[in-house]
Structures are given as structure tokens and as C-alpha cells.
Amino acid sequence: MLCASVPLCLRLPTIADNICPYEEITMNTIVCIKQVPNVKEVKWYPVTGSLIRKGIPSIINPNDRHAIEAALQLREKHGGEVTIVSMGPSQVEEALREALAMGADKAVQLTDKEFAGSDTWATSYTLGLAIRKIGSWNLILCGKEAMDGMTAQVGPQIAEYLKIPQMTYAVSLEIADGKVRIKQKLGKVQRVLEAPLPALVTVEREINEPRIAPMDSIMEAYEKEIPVWTPEDLGGEAERFGLEGSPTRLKKVFSPKVLKGKVHMLPAEPKEAAAELIRVLKEKYIL
Amino acid sequence: MAASVDINEYRGCWVFVEQSHGKPARVSLELLGKGRELAAKLGVDLTAVVLGDALGSLPQELVAYGAERVLVAEDPVLKEYRTELYADVVAGAVLERRPEVLIVGATPVGRDLAPRLSFRLNAGCTADCTGLDIDQENRLFVSTRPAFGGNVVATIICPNHRPQMATVRPGVMPLPEKEAGRSGEVVPLKVLIKEQDVRVKILESAEAASEGGAIEEAERVLCVGMGGADAETFALIRELAGLLYAEVAATRLAVEAGWLTHDSQVGQTGKTIRPDLYVACGISGAVQHTAGMTGSKLVVAINKDPKAEIFNYADFGIVGDLRKVLPAIIDELKTLRGE
């Protein structure tokens, strides 16, 4: 049956917890990150309106940097380890190296042609399998959404796969009494939520200011080994990966321009333009 | 494929209705309007699903807005939205009754709930759609959303999975007429879960007072882009907004530069608005922005670049420096009002 199993290596309550309820819990956090094209530098072909992908630098999705920072801060306070996971083409290694340079302990890369064409469902399935394989963890952190797709779906879908509580849109995060507590920005409503560990939290940018990887750490990060896992390493059902495992299918792509009729240009001289605009607004019963 | 279902067993169009204190979210009503159109094309009933506590006359209100059936889960445990609880109730109803389409407003709640549901139901869910339709020939739900880079829009289908899910941006679909005379069936859903079984606890909940009015409800909006994002120009925009009784909104970059909060952001990552008057001040007109304003009735664009894309979306354009054009408009208006 699909998604029936839960992570096996979670920390279970022990007698010691009962004797000493304030004993600090060790935080083993997995951060899921995505490498995205740096949209600020994106350019389009003027005629077709399609994206010029060639030569666009890739970066760690900005929201995900805040998730990495949150995990590092938890480790500083509670001990434990920070593991980064990312699925993508081979260049995703750069993003993982950078996360290691920020201070993460380990990284796992998911790269295989079978993963190509994944929608959010297949992506979450693949990341979920990897998280189960990593084993000892009690918190998953994700950025609220990726700046390219902007679906905000993968976090909640991983939580569902792992059958753990999800708490989205965190603007603050703390661990107390073995539980995770967040301040959630749910539109106009601010809530304080608390969940037992293990849990998954997606973070907003307000949560912290991500550190910049220092130069010497970047050099060190290149010495670390990053395992690359394929479908064979993950197990799972072959037909659930990549394009084949994706319920959603792209049907077509087109230019969305809903152009108005031809724009009527008002005079360039400010005073004349203003007078003309007022006349128009009166005519349209706005004034 | 192992997970495929017999898609012909799935019939009906559902709208998840988000509510707060018995009042439906505006986007849920917008979706009932669109849902009726989709249901008619499919030749099926439109069903609303609503969860909460002490919902009062809300189910009847949803009938008046177009639902032919309202599935109601009412229980104190459902008073406030919680992901897993709501997912359990909705997924239970879906598995029992098998709708072919399930649409949800792309609000913070909807964007939290829909992906969790879609994974559990082994269903595809298209996020933040701006258009929904039915391909009648193939009996497929077709959703449209802005795709990467924004200069293109993608249509997405889920041929082999049911239900076909989508979240839809608020403000994109028009609000349907409320007709008190409509009749519909109200069906209670069983709620078996107890508070002590719930894993996520709400320790505090407070509604934040938003600064200024809500731009999505404003009839007039002045929107500031990077061309107007300096202290002097912004002050002029505020002054003009006051004179026009308009709200001030901003593009993503202007919000990121700190001129306004995300509540006031228009565009793909912000809000979709359809005011009577929309004045674009120093906005280049990238489609990520225009995706949120093309429903505006009268669009005026002011930009110093005569080739700015925004002029393609405008009824009236002024090529000029905001710091000269805005004071001229302010003066004209003050003269008009006899100040």
C-alpha cells in the first residue's frame, strides 16, 4: 500500500524522559532544498516570449536558505545534525556544496534520468523515500515555496507521505519539551501552533537572516563526499518516479497576454497630460 | 500503472468552502460560480464541502450561491482550521463519494490543505490557477496557471488520476449572483475524530489588523513599481491616492524594497485585483505583475519609458517622469475640488 510506512528511526520516549522532562532533545534536521534559475537575471526572447535558459546562473531557492539557517540555529541550540537533500540534475551538487559551506553536516543528492519531469507529487514521493532512507531525524524543514514553480506543495506532500504533522508559513520556530512550536502567518491570522516531533515545518523569509558561507568553509565543503542516490538506492515503485509518476501533465504553453485595445497616449507635457486625464476620469464617471 | 483508478467511477464537481466564524471566504463563492459552469459542462451536480463548528445558515447560503448539494462536517473539533483534521474529513468524503473534480481557493489555508489532500488521494493538483475549463470531448478538467518566468501560461491536465484537483487564485473568477430561491440538499458528514487524537495544537490565534484597506476590495488602486519607489515619488503617490479615494498597492520588487507589505502586493505572487480604476506608477509591466491586474476596468499607466510593456495593458498612457506628472495631476484635482 502506498505511503503506509512511517519513519522507523525516530526517537521514542524513554524512562529518562519521564524522570527528567526538561532534558534537551537533540535535533536531527533534514532540510529539503531546490536549485532554481536566478530569476532576477532571467531574460526572454523578445518575439516568442520564451525564457532564455542558456547561461542563467542557478542558486539555492531563496526561501530554502531560510530553512537551512533555521536548521543550523536549532543545531547550535540543541545539538544534533543538519542534513540537506535535493533532487535535480547533476549541477544540483553546487547547491548542496553551498549548503554544506553554510554549515550543514551532510548532504544527499538525488540525481537520475528517471527523476526527470517530476511534478510536485513525484518530487515529494522521491524526497520522502530519501528521507526515510536517511533514517535518524526528528524534524524536516522546507522553504515556504520555490521561486520558480511557486506551488508551495512539496512540503505538505512530504509530510503526508511520512504521515507526520505539518506546520506551514512559520515566522518563528522553537523546540520546547520535545515539541516544535511555531508562529504561523496564515494570511491575516497569526497562530501559535505546537506539534510533537517528528514534524515538518515550512518557513517564511521573516524567520531569520541566512548566513553567508565563509570562504574557507566553501573550500572545506568541496572535500566532503556527497552521495548520489538513484531509484535503485531509494527502492519504491519505479512507475512513481519522474514524468511517469506525475499525475499532472503539461498540455500546452502559450503567451498569456491579455492586451487591451490600443492604448491611448496622453500628451507628454505634464500639465496637459494631467488635464486630459482628469477629463477622461470625469467621462468615465470616476470623478 | 499500479495507482491508476477506474476514472469512470468518479463523477461530480466539488468546491471546498473555506469559512471563518460561519462566513464563507469570498474565493469559495467565486469558485461556486465557476463550479456551476464546470458542472454543467460535465452534466453533473455541483457539491460544496464545508467544515467547521456552529455554521448556522451557511449551508443554505452556499445553496443560494449555486451549490446543489452541501456536505457539512460540523463539530467543535473542526472550529479552527487544522491541516490533518480537515484533510481526514475531506479525503474520507472524497473516497466515499468519488468526485471527478475538486477545487479549492488558493488562500493560505487552501494552499496548505490541497497538497496534503492530493498526495493522500494520489491525485494531481495544479496550484494557483487563473483559469479552469472542461475539455468536453475527453471529459477532462483543464486548469491554467502562469508558468515559470511568467511570460507564458501553461494548461495542465490529469488524464489518469481522480479527483482532478486545482487551487484557484482569489479574485480571478467573478462573484456569482446569490439567489435565495434555489434549492439544494444538505448532507451531514460524520466526524469521528476527538480533540485528544489531534497532533497539532493551536496555542494562540489572533487576527492581525491590516494597515490600510484591503486592495482586493478597493474600487480604485494606485500601484507603485520600481520607477516610483523613492521617498519623494511615494509621498506623491500617497497624496494622489488620498485625493482619488484610492488604495495604494505595489509590485513585488517594490514590496521587497520595503515600500509596502506583502498584503498590498499585486501580481503572480501577490493578489489579483479587479478595481474600476488602476493607475500603474513606474511599473514596467512584467507579466508576473500584470497577471494580477488585467481584470481592472480602466487602466492608466505612467512611465518614463515609452516602450514599457505596461502600456500594452493600459487604456490611457502618459510617458513622463512621475515627479513631474503626479504633481500636475494633484494640482488639477485640487483645483477641481476648489482647494
Q: What is the pLDDT of residues A185-228, one digit of tens each?
A: 998 899 999 999 999 999 999 999 999 998 888 888 889 999 99
Q: φ and ψ at A214, to 5 degrees? A: -70, 150
CA distances from B82 to A165, B4, B16, B109 (A): 10, 29, 14, 9
Which segments of chain B belong to CATH 3.40.50.1220? 215-336
Instruction: Report the DSSP pairing between strands A228-229 and A166-176.
Output: unpaired
Question: pLDDT (tens digit, 9 = 90+) per residue, B120-151?
Answer: 999 999 999 989 999 999 999 999 987 765 56
Beta bridge partners of B168: B105, B129
Average pLDDT over residues B53-67: 97
**Is B299 close to A260, i.e. CB distance below 8 A?**
yes
List, for residues B244-281, the tens digit of each pLDDT value: 989 999 999 999 888 898 889 999 888 889 888 999 99
**A286 interaction partners in chain B (CB closer than 8 Å):** 220, 244, 276-277, 298
- Burial string for B103-124 (b: 16+ CB within 10 Å, else e) reads bbbbbbbbbbbbbbbbbbbbbb
Residue B126 has φ and ψ, to the nearest 5°, of: -90, 125
Radius of gyration, alpha carbons of chain B: 22
Report the mean per-residue pLDDT for chain A.
87
pLDDT at A40 over 70: no
Residue A46 confidence (pLDDT) above 70: no
Tell me the shortest Cα–Cα distance from B182 to chain A, in angstroms: 32
Contacts of residue B260, defined as CB under 8 A and 6 or more positions apart, other chains included, come to B224, B248, B249, B250, B254
SS3 B214: coil
Q: Determine which of B119, B130, B202 to mutate to test the interface with A (most A C-beta atoms within 10 Å).
A: B119
Domain B7-197 classified CATH 3.40.50.620? yes
- Higher-scoring residue by pLDDT: B334, B13: B13
Per-residue pLDDT at A76: 96
Largest alpha-carbon pair distance within chain A? 82
Q: Would you call B156 and A124 a contact, using CB atoms and an 8 Å cutoff?
A: no
Positions of CATH 3.40.50.620 in chain B: 7-197
Instruction: Judge: A44–B300 Cβ closer than 8 Å, yes or no.
Output: no
pTM attached to this predicted model:
0.82
Q: What CATH number belongs to B215-336?
A: 3.40.50.1220
Facing A161 at nearest CB: one of B119, B311, B312: B119
Grade residue A7 by pLDDT with cuts at 50, 70 and 90: very low
Q: What is the pLDDT of residue B217?
A: 81
Average pLDDT over residues A174-192: 94
pLDDT of residue A52: 59
Q: How far apart are CA B162 and CA B180, in angstroms?
A: 33
Concatenating the DSSP letter of every residue in A177-237 gives: TTEEEEEEEETTEEEEEEEESSEEEEE-GGG--PPPPPHHHHHHHTTS---EE-HHHH-S-
Q: Do residue B152 and residue A49 have CB atoms under 8 angstroms apart? A: yes
In chain A, what are the domains? 15-240 (3.40.50.620)
Q: Number of A:B CB contacts under 8 A?
A: 248
In the chain, the amino acid numbered A252 is K
CA distances from B339 to A275, B236, B310 (A): 16, 17, 32
Of A39, A160, A263, the CB nearest to B116: A160
CA distance A18 to chain B (A): 20
What residue type is assigned to position B93 of the chain?
A
> Please, which residues have CB within 8 angstroms of residue A150's CB and are 6 or more apart in sequence?
B127, B128, B268, B269
